[in-house]
Amino acid sequence: MDTLKIGKYIQHLRKTAGMTQKDLAEKLNISFQAVSKWENGDTLPDTGILLDLCDILNTTADKLLNGGSLAPVERKLMKLEDVITGFQYIENIGTLFGEDCTFFVGMVNGINEKMNIDLLTYLKDPKTREVMYAEVLIQGILSGRTVDMEEIEANFQNEKMIHTIRRYLAKADGNPEAAG
C-alpha cells in the first residue's frame, strides 16, 4: 500500500468536505495529530475506525486504501485456519531462531511499531489473539479477499469481532445493510 498516496487522498476528501484535520478528528474521537500522520503518509487509519472514516469522507474502504482508484477485486477465500497457521509460523521463528535473534526481534518490533501493539503479549492471551486473527481477516477483506462467515461464527468467541468482520465483508460486497 502506498501510504503517501492514501494520505493525499484522505486530505483531498477532507478538504473537499470542508473539514479541518481537527473537525475530522473530532468526528472520529481521535487526535488531529493522528489525521496529520495519515495525511503525511506516516501511518494508516486503524481498522477499528476505517469504516467510520469512509462514511464521513463518503468513500469506500477499498477506494481509500488504493488512494482513490479502484483496484480489481479478486475475491480469493481467506481461511481462518491459514491465519492461525500464519501466527504459529511467527511464533515458530522465535522458537527456531531464538527470541534474541535479530530476524525475530526485527520482525516483532516492526509489527509492534506498525500496529502499535505488543505482539508477543497479545498472542499469549486467547482473547487478544482472536482480535489479531480478526485484524488479519479484515485486512484481507480490505485487500479484496472474502471469508466464510459460517467458519468465523463457528470459531470466534468474541461477538464484537464477528460483527465487525461481518460489517467489513458486507461493505466489501456492496451490501452494507447485511452487516446487521
Give the tens place of pLDDT for each residue, 147-167: 999 999 999 999 999 999 999
**Same domain flag for 42 and 124:** no
The domain in which residue 11 lies consists of: 3-65
Other beta carbons less than 10 A from residue 60's beta carbon: 18
Residue-wise pLDDT for 67-96, tens only, equals 887 655 557 899 999 999 999 999 999 999
Q: Is pLDDT at 25 greater than 80 in this prediction?
A: yes
pTM of the model: 0.62
Residue 41 covered by a domain: yes
Question: Helices 32-39 & 3-16, crossing angle to 10 degrees?
Answer: 120
Other beta carbons less than 10 A from residue 73's beta carbon: 13
**Same domain flag for 152 and 101:** yes
In the chain, the number of structural domains is: 2
pLDDT at 71: 59
Confidence bin at 178 (pLDDT 50/70/90): low
**Same domain flag for 104 and 17:** no
Residue 154 covered by a domain: yes
